[in-house]
Amino acid sequence: MSINRRAFLERSGLGLGWVAANWLGQRAQAAPPAAAKTLPASAKAVISLFMHGGPSHIELFDPKPALNRLHGQLVPASFGHVQLQFSKFNESPVLGSKRTFQRHGQAGIEMSDLLPNLAHHADKLAVIKSMYHDGFTHTAALNFLNNGWPRLGRPSVGSWVVYGLGSESDSLPAFVVMLEGGIKSGPEVWSSGFLPAVYQGTTLRQGPSPILNLKRPESMTSASQRQWLDELKWFNERHREPRREDSALDARIASYELAFRMQSTAPELADLSKESAATRALYGMDDPRTADFGARCLMARRLVERGVRFVQLWSGNTTGGEDWDGHKQCDANHQRMAAKTDKPIAGLLEDLAKRGLLDSTLVVWGGEFGRTPTSDGSMNGGGDSLGRDHNPYGFTIWLAGGGVKGGKVIGRTDEIGLRQIEDGVHVHDLHASILALLGLDHTKLTFPYQGRDFRLTDVHGSTALVPRLRT
Amino acid sequence: MLRMLLALSLAPAATSAQNATPESAARRIIEAKCVSCHGASKMAGLDLRQRPAMLTGGARGAAIVPGKPEDSLLYRAVKRDGDVKMPPGKAALGPEEIDAIRAWIAAGAPWTGEAKSAPSWWSFRKIIRPPVPAGSASSPIDRYINTALSKAGLAAAPPADRRTLIRRLSFNLHGLPPDPADVDRFLNDKDPQAYEKLIDRLLESPRYGERWGRHWLDVIRYADTGGFETDVLLANAWRYRDYVIRSFNNDKPFDTFVKEQIAADEIWPDNLDLAGAYEMPKSKAANLERRLGTSLYSLGALPVEFTFFGDQWRAEWQAEAVETTAAAFLGLTFNCARCHDHKFDPISQKDYYRLSAVFAGSEDREVPIVSQMGIFEYTRHQAKVVAADQLKRRLQLLDAAVRERQKSLPKGAKLDYTPEERDQRESLLRQLGEAYMKAPTLYAKANLLVHTAPVPDTHVLAGGEFKQKGERVTPGFPASLGPAPAIDEPADTQWFIPRRRKALAEWLTSRDHPLLARVMVNRIWGWHFGQGLVATPNDFGRQGDAPSHPELLDWLAAELIENGWSLKKLHRQILLSDAYQRSSQAVPASLAKDSENRLLWRMNRRRLEAEEIRDNILATSGALNAKMFGEPVVPELSREEMDGMRDPSQWPITADPAEHDRRSVYLFVKRSFRNPMMEVFNSPDASASCARREESTVAPQSLAMMNGEFLTKSAARFAARLKKDAGPDPAAQVDHAWRLALGRPPDAEEQRRALAYLPNAGLDKLCLLVLNLSEMIYVD
């Protein structure tokens, strides 16, 4: 790190927690306004568990007995109309739920029988049943949840967080994404948008070799590679000098430094065999149904443990697999998806708590929207029937850890689970709250672009929720 | 701010309604904002062109109640007061406009005649050649761009120097670095036409088709396997890839290229009976080449399990055909209309199935593409194939007997052969090998579109489900795209050879089609400048971006058509513009105002695409095998790279190692497993049309470049090449390395630094360093 750079960082009060500044922001203007980080922080890292496709709150957290009474009938006119992607709301019959619900934990949070393992951790969760936005297509909703904006071009939440807080690790990417397969949008949901390219998410490969090429060539020693890298840096910085406005060139130089350090840390990171059999079992890695998602959850813990700031892992594969998009046989679909994820997620919460990581790690569970109380197709029971359409008007997410006091429910939906009707939490409010838990003021975490200061929450968002989450 | 300016310039109906009657004011708004969907397309059943239809309304009931605005759905929808909010997906009407609608309904909603249903969306309107703005620039392209620049008060970057230009051009047109000798020749060429000559030379080289063919392969989601769990080998896909490369190299007129891919068999029908020919006549060979274009429709990602259900397979195949056609040729996203009327564009669900009906009665089929002689050669020796099969069978019988004897062994345990059995087995294996070597090779086949009779009816499928058949539809094209020819067919559609795809191809390529030429010139522009005039090349609808230079786009489209759809002529026009030849250096004031360079005050710096990065390394190290065409090359991968593959037996490594050094366009494209070196540099996943490559910059890329086997091997080859070409003198080696890799000599400081590093590190490490330079993968 150059002297000037260090002096700048010290002056701007960014100090520690910004140890990776030498790879993160090569230039002063890439650092966030000092005022952005003035709130009390209770979380240092985020794990986003993204249930892709849109999990049904009605089958998981938000029981609606009225649906079983109304099963097969049209929704009473008193509920009005909403626009849906595939079905016509006021022409679709109500679909009851087959799930049974019980109250769990001291707080008595309702959860369905699809979540037997998570149920043990009810008192760790703040369940928000009043989430809403208005993007009823996957791409719009995915962008909304991940970028705070239904279209392309904005930085993702992870990028904003890393921009705001820097990295605690100088040997791993600050923002890591683990996919199960294809998704219904694209890499824009972990892109850095107009933020400097260094803040973009890094995807890990699936399977036993999540990061390739960690072994240096046989002709290189650590010292000779270090020297090689110093030479390379000299040339690349010289190339960058007259092209300073291009943040991709900075990101590239930084990525070599990171790559060099990853050679010593990443092999150990990726080696899940060092975890005890008990830990692996905790994540369901001994069961073929849960092994895949379990490995990602365990990897998430290992990443956070090693100072990675923002980890996002996905459940659902749209190319050749299955996701939570229960347009057909929603119940059966959710049985399968929950069976893959319930135990690993419970294991993650337990493991984080056991290791003292949960206090500083905010876990966010949710998808791009919930599902409708009405049937998406026919009701005849066939393979294409008994599905639920997308519902962004009222759905559930939950938060745990990172200073969130669990065992509480916030907000509710109407009698049929269509709209939120109390303590509504818009996506912008959720984003503002996530930033606030990390000590970041969403109104001050800005980046100048095209003549104005942009922020994750645009001109919206409220942190009114934060005190409730913390107490 | 810029975005706002662009939006304003595109909003024709933003004028106030002074001096207008309530009817004329309302009419202007309805025509501009509503009838593109609620006109001929009758989205949600609603037609706002005539008063009776407004009174009847659509699926949600009457649109207007004359005299009662508050009870009129139309008014409430535009006021966004209630659940229906119109227009969808974009800005609400202005308060004046909403008032005008209110006033008109309050006045009893008078309405005379029919509202014009001229498409209101810019890209659906006919292309009319716009006047070229005045200016000093010789190229009309520059007149448009300079006018926009001066209007926005942006200063353009100076012209790039020749060294930058030849490197830019070479990667742009060939995806390869310029040869050092060619760089010198260009630098020293005193001819004022030197740049033009260079363009011509590059466009004439076969390397051009390999690069630009690859762009097209992105658009049509090319792959050698079918994706999903089964990920079956599409064994003939490469013939289409070669057809594309040849088409670009031959400057096949783009309209012909489109016609061939959609309907070669219907437009040039005399080639249907290949098997009947004893020798392949020239005309048949030419038509066969055209028909290879229809392989486009055999390359989609489809789960093969669907073949178990004939109708389901058909439904999926037709849906894939519709969506690829819409994305590639119309630049529109049709996918949503499979299940419901498009929420944002005037594409109804019925439109979707009318287009789907165009593909009904057509089928992708594997057919021989050799003369009768070729087939006969195979059948004559087919007994040898049977003989080999029988040897295989004998081997299986032997193994079965041994297994029977050792029944009790746990599953998967190794069989225990007696010495005699082992000898027998080895002998059988040897015989089998010999028999296999003697067996004839199967004649060439291709996957082409053919007709199946009778032509099945097409229905709207509720929710896109093949079992939920709704209204029967006839083939046709979206009404919102302007007048289209009717497809004449006999009343009894059971027995006739359809010409539906021919009609589609002719409709698309007619002079009046609003989209095909616009969409293609925008793609070409984007592949030259790194960003299209419309930044969303596969979405010219309302969800897409507005064009940065709408008139330039239309001028280029008109030129393309005028010039006989020659893409090479279009390239020349673009490449000769000042805009293309500008430096990529930032002009601070312009950067501050237009940091995305939407108005092209400079050239965009570009990171090379995955294929270019690999090809550049191969070319620089002297290893590139320039062989063209043929079956896909399957390179060897490391064990950890193979870790991501479900079934390693589906990665049949190409035997000849020389093949492994061929251009990346010839590499095997497997849908369920992307070649890691390609994937890490953002190669497309081929699940659907890819309009634009991503450009990520992440540490796994640097790891691949520092440590990957391909890189270390290439560095060693590069070093060997330097020693051979430049001899033992380190200074000469460094100089040559820079010229080969970067198209320039090192400057004094670089030379000094490299020479200081060289003695201890060795030439291999210096070469690895050069291959890792940012300048290697970024083009100014």
Q: Show residues of chain B in contact with A211, CB under 8 Å.
A: 700, 703
**Smallest Cα distance from B769 to chain A, Å:** 6
**How would you class A229 by CB atoms within 10 Å of its CB: exposed for 0-12, middle for 13-18, buried for 19 or more?**
buried
- The answer to whether A243 contacts chain B (CB < 8 Å) is yes
Q: Show residues of chain B in contact with A173, CB under 8 Å.
A: 698-699
Cβ within 8 Å of A, B 508-527 = none
Least reliable range by pLDDT among A89-98, A219-228, A372-381, B76-85 = B76-85
Q: In this structure, are B108 and B230 located in the same domain?
A: no
- Asked whether residue B779 carries a pLDDT value surpassing 90, the answer given is yes
Q: In this structure, are B457 and B432 located in the same domain?
A: no
pLDDT of residue B495: 67
pLDDT one-digit tens code per residue, B616-653: 999 999 999 999 999 999 999 988 888 778 788 889 99
Q: In this structure, are B724 and B649 located in the same domain?
A: yes
If you average pLDDT over residues A260-285, what whole number do you get? 93
Interface contact B699-A202, CB threshold 8 A: yes
In three-state form (DSSP H/G/I as H, E/B as E, the rest C), the secondary structure along B276-318 is CCCCCCHHHHHHHHHHHHHHHHHCCCCCHHHHHCHHHHHHHHH
Interface contact B761-A224, CB threshold 8 A: yes
- Asked whether residue B66 carries a pLDDT value surpassing 80, the answer given is yes
**Residue A14, token pair as written in the block:** 């960014």
pLDDT one-digit tens code per residue, B728-772: 999 999 999 999 999 999 999 999 999 999 999 999 999 999 999
pLDDT of residue A123: 97
Domains: count for chain B: 4
CA distance B456 to B310: 12
- The predicted model scores a pTM of 0.86
Q: In this structure, are B358 and B414 located in the same domain?
A: no
Cβ within 8 Å of B, A 52-81 = 80-81
Any long-range contacts for B58-65 (C-beta under 8 Å, 24+ apart)? Answer: B59/A88, B60/B84, B64/B105, B64/B109, B65/B105
Q: In this structure, are B623 and B497 located in the same domain?
A: no
Q: In this structure, are B61 and B21 located in the same domain?
A: yes
**Residue B617, token pair as written in the block:** 């390394």
pLDDT one-digit tens code per residue, A309-324: 999 999 999 877 899 9
Residue B4 lies in a domain: no
Range of the domain at B400: 384-439
- Asked whether residue B563 carries a pLDDT value surpassing 90, the answer given is yes
pLDDT of residue A20: 37
The owner of tokens 């409430």 is: B76
Residue B651 lies in a domain: yes
Interface contact B703-A220, CB threshold 8 A: no
Residue A60 DSSP SS3: helix
Contacting residues for B440 by C-beta, under 8 A, at least 6 apart? B377, B378, B380, B381, B382, B384, B385
Q: Show residues of chain A in contact with B750, CB under 8 Å.
A: 235, 238
Interface contact A231-B769, CB threshold 8 A: yes
Residue A30 DSSP SS3: helix
Q: In this structure, are B38 and B58 located in the same domain?
A: yes
Q: In this structure, are B402 and B303 located in the same domain?
A: no
Nearest to B703 among A213, A228, A244 (CB): A213
**Residue B646, token pair as written in the block:** 């479900």
Nearest to A450 among B2, B706, B775 (CB): B2
pLDDT class of B274 with cuts at 50, 70, 90? low
Torsion sign over Cα B568, B573, B576, B580: negative
Interface contact A260-B228, CB threshold 8 A: no
End-to-end CA distance of chain B: 27
Residue of B nearest to A23 (CA): B699
Query: In whole angstroms, how far apart are CA B206 and each of B209, B248, B415, B614?
Result: 6, 9, 54, 18
Residue B310 lies in a domain: yes
In DSSP terms, B451 is beta-bridged to B362
Q: Show residues of chain A in contact with B585, CB under 8 Å.
A: 242-243
Interface contact A209-B640, CB threshold 8 A: yes
Q: In this structure, are B424 and B459 located in the same domain?
A: no
Query: What's the gap between Cα B343 and its chain centre?
Result: 25
Backbone angles phi, psi at B460, to 5 degrees: -65, 130
pLDDT of residue A292: 93
**In this structure, what CATH number is given to the domain that contains residue B79?**
1.10.760
Q: Show residues of chain A in contact with B768, CB under 8 Å.
A: 217, 228
End-to-end CA distance of chain A: 41
If you average pLDDT over residues B238-246, what whole number do you get? 98
Please choose, from the candidates A356, A358, A327, A322, the residue with its C-alpha nearest in 3D space to the C-alpha of residue A341: A322
For A339-366, the DSSP string reads: HHHHHHHHHHHHHHHHTT-GGGEEEEEE
Interface contact A384-B773, CB threshold 8 A: no
Largest distance between two CA atoms of chain B = 106
Residue B518 lies in a domain: no
pLDDT of residue B398: 92
Query: What's the gap between Cα A400 and its chain centre?
Result: 13
Interface contact A213-B694, CB threshold 8 A: no
CA distance A57 to A134: 17
**Residue B691, token pair as written in the block:** 């309009």
Cβ within 8 Å of B, A 281-340 = 319-320, 327
Residue of A nearest to B303 (CA): A320
The owner of tokens 């905010």 is: A362
Of B486, B509, B532, the one marking the end of a domain is B509
Nearest to B228 among A208, A216, A320 (CB): A320
Domain range list for chain A:
1-45+140-170+184-203+441-471, 209-270, 272-320+337-355
Q: In this structure, are B709 and B627 located in the same domain?
A: yes
Q: In this structure, are B273 and B422 located in the same domain?
A: no
**Residue A368, token pair as written in the block:** 């791009």
Contacting residues for A156 by C-beta, under 8 A, at least 6 apart? A146, A147, A188, A189, A190, A191, A192, A193, A201
- With vertex at residue B83, the alpha carbon angle to CA B76 and CA B339, rounded to the nearest 5 degrees, is 120
Q: For residue B44, is it left (φ>0), alpha (ψ between -120 and 50) or beta?
A: left
- The answer to whether B707 contacts chain A (CB < 8 Å) is yes
Q: Show residues of chain B in contact with A205, CB under 8 Å.
A: 643-644, 676
Residue B37 lies in a domain: yes
Residue B567 lies in a domain: no
**Smallest Cα distance from A258 to chain B, Å:** 6
pLDDT one-digit tens code per residue, A33-64: 888 999 999 999 999 999 999 999 999 999 99
pLDDT of residue B35: 77
Q: Show residues of chain B in contact with A243, CB under 8 Å.
A: 584-586, 605
Residue B231 lies in a domain: yes
CA dihedral B173, B257, B483, B563 (to 10 degrees): 60
Nearest to B773 among A86, A213, A239 (CB): A239
Residue B184 lies in a domain: no
Over pLDDT 90: what percentage of chain A? 73
CA distance B240 to A358: 54
Q: In this structure, are B411 and B327 located in the same domain?
A: no
Please choose, from the candidates B478, B486, B490, B484, the residue with its C-alpha nearest in 3D space to the C-alpha of residue B453: B490
